[in-house]
Structure 1
Amino acid sequence: MNKTIHKEWEIVRFDGNTPFLEDEVIATESPLTVMLNGQEFATIVCSTTDLEDLLVGFLASEGVIRFYNDITSLSIDEALGFAHVELKKPLTIVQNDSSKRFIGSCCGKSRQFYFQSDVKTAKTVRSRLEITVDQCYSLMDQLQEKSIQFKETGGVHNAALGSVDEIVTMRTDIGRHNALDKIYGDILKNQRPLKDKVIIFSGRISSEVLLKVSKIGIGILLSKSAPTDLGLKLADDLGITTVGFVRNNKMNVYTHQERIIEANPYHNISTVGD
């Protein structure tokens, strides 16, 4: 990254009842309004790094584009907070004042938006890739080691694309959905092959996150955090292996365990008390 996504903020920190003045490193966020063919489409609250990747991945995730070359021009005015995108084809999505899109840095306001395009963009993943338990641990360790902005602020999410052995590329944002869109954008721009790839992720495995992984087309998702029940139901239906709480040489495999070599459900799995 060629820029930071944090600022210093003077705080009063308490040690017991004793106050101290300190400078705290805080993650930054900014609104970015997306204009498609001159029409306002969405406002994304995001970290201001890798914005082109974010836009490309976001538009692909929402079914507006399928390929990077569906875009004829893309310009970003960071000072004013606008991105102008021209497409080869006319924009066919109809909007009115009651359906203006606002994509927050968390998940609360975004659920209605994600569900509108999932039918045509979510897809069943039929990957035959396998990964060992030790490789899962190693990939999460690599993500943690590279998470410089998180170590500084504690306020960002990280998403990475990797082979079973190493991280290929990584993106950071205050929003976990944005971090995945940045990865998706990088994939489309660089035409990265996905047959041998996994997603390594810092955030909760929610339904929206799972659907984004489905749209990217990757069959293994590793996260250091927890899943939701709807996320797991979608993962089971869409053929995605979900692994959560990957930390300290422990992890939980929730769906499609067949891709985790040492977690084959028919071989040597112990139950509590065995």
Structure 2
Amino acid sequence: MNKKGCPEEYPITLIVNDFEVAVFQLTKHDLEDWVYGYLFSEGLIEKATDIEAVRINDESGIIDVTLSSEFDTELMFSKKKHYTAGCGRGVTFFSMTDVKTFNKVEAGKTYQLSYLLKMRSEFAKNSVLYLETGGMHGACIVTEAGEITVREDIGRHNAVDKVIGHCVRNELDPTTLLLLTTGRVSYEMLSKAAKFGFAVIGSRTAATKQAIQLAKYLNIEVVGYLRGKMAIQYTSFGRVHNDLEERVLGVNLS
């Protein structure tokens, strides 16, 4: 029998401009990327230079962030909290109504569905923590040149925040990138992708009805169950071309 290590998670307290936001369950890898991604997803920053300093204390489990400009953190975080579904508990301050105000995606690179399946396989091969433990979620971006960047965490939403943080820190254009995730695409996952501006999202598993409806409203292509040579195409805006014929299902929620 092959033995695997156990996935790890730790309580991490996020403090922004001396205001304690919340305690998150996180895996202690790429935490700085998570900070940038989470704060971007929540609308506290628009670019990397909006953060003046990030201080990560592994021993105390505290991340202390200083924003480069004045921001009414107390007003922002007094809004109703929405707890994310699934493992690695998270919190978002955006409601479904808030997310509908995000910009609709009007551009984006086009892909063959077989390419998404190929890159999903490469993603799996490069998910180091999952291969070590069998219990991690991951998110991955694929560039126009086919280069991939993987980020992993106990929580699927945290993994997406980490990869978004990588993009923000490196000033990457979201419409040129493919976002892949191992986790279920729920409304809060879709909102993170929409906030950054990804045009195409692929997942190893399902998308919720609320996420699909939101994706249709924001013109985002969502493909689920990317496994082997099969998939489910939830939305279609001409960015993902089905070159697998009968092996792909469509979902109609209208």
TM-score of the alignment, normalized to the shorter chain, above 0.5: yes
SS state at 1:84 partner: strand
Change (3 A) 1:109 1:203: closer
Q: 1:224 to 1:234 in 2, by over 3 A?
A: same
User: Percent of counterpart pairs with the same letter?
Assistant: 29
From 246, 265, 269, the counterpart of 2:226: 246
- The answer for the alignment partner of 1:31 in structure 2 is 11
* Local SS of the residue matching 1:169: strand
Residue equivalent to 2:185: 205
Instruction: Tell me which of 209, 215, 218 is aligned to 1:235.
Output: 215
AA aligned to 1:86 is: T
Residue type of the partner of 2:168? L
Contact 1:103 1:109 in 2 (8 A): yes
Measure, in 1, the Cα distance between the counterparts of 2:47 and 2:77.
29
Equivalent pairs counted in the alignment come to 249
Give the letter for the 1:225 counterpart. T
Q: Is the 8 A contact 1:198 1:218 kept in 2?
A: yes
Q: Which secondary structure does the structure 2 equivalent of 1:203 belong to?
A: coil
Amino acid of the structure 2 residue aligned with 1:179: A
1 or 2 for the larger relative contact order (CA 8 Å, sep ≥6)? 2
Distance change in 2, residues 1:112/1:143 (3 Å): closer
Match of 1:60 in 2: 40
Q: Which residue of 2 aligns with 1:49?
A: 29
Q: Deviations over 1:28-50 (max 9, x none)?
A: 00111111111111222110000
C-alpha distance in structure 1 between counterparts of 2:163 and 2:247, whole Å: 36
Structure-1-length-normalised TM-score:
0.80
For 1:57, the aligned partner's letter is: G
Answer whether contact 1:133 1:262 (CA < 8 A) is retained: yes
Of the candidates 101, 114, 118, which is equivalent to residue 134 of structure 1? 114
Change (3 A) 1:167 1:202: farther
Deviations 1:134-192 (A, max 9, x none): 21111111011112221222211110010356243110000111101111111111112
2:50 equivalent to 1:70: yes
Separation (CA, whole Å) in 1 of partners of 2:203 and 2:247: 23
Alignment-derived partner of residue 169 in structure 1: 149
Matches within 5 A, 1:134-153: 134-153=114-133
CA RMSD of aligned residues (A): 3.1
Q: Which residue of 2 aligns with 1:18?
A: none
**How much has 1:96 moved relative to structure 2?**
11
Q: Which is higher, the Rg of structure 1 or of structure 2?
A: 1
Gaps of 5+ in 2: 250-254
Distance 1:34 1:167 in 2: 31
Q: Which amino acid aligns with 1:62?
A: E
8 A Cα contact 2:19 2:74, kept in partner:
no
Give the whole-Å Cα distance in 1 for the aligned partners of 2:160 and 2:109.
Answer: 20
Return the letter of the residue paired with 1:190.
N
> Could you tell me which of 66, 74, 97 is aligned with 1:86?
66
Cα distance, 1:123 vs structure 2: 2.7
| Per-residue CA distance 1:89-130 (angstroms, 9 max, x = gap) | 223133699879696783696566342894487331112321
The amino acid of 1:228's aligned partner reads: T
Q: Unaligned regions of 5+ residues in structure 1, if any?
A: 1-12, 14-21
Q: How many angstroms does 1:24 deviate by?
A: 5.0
Determine whether 1:123 maps to 2:123.
no
SS state at 2:224 partner: strand
| TM-score, normalization by structure 2 | 0.86
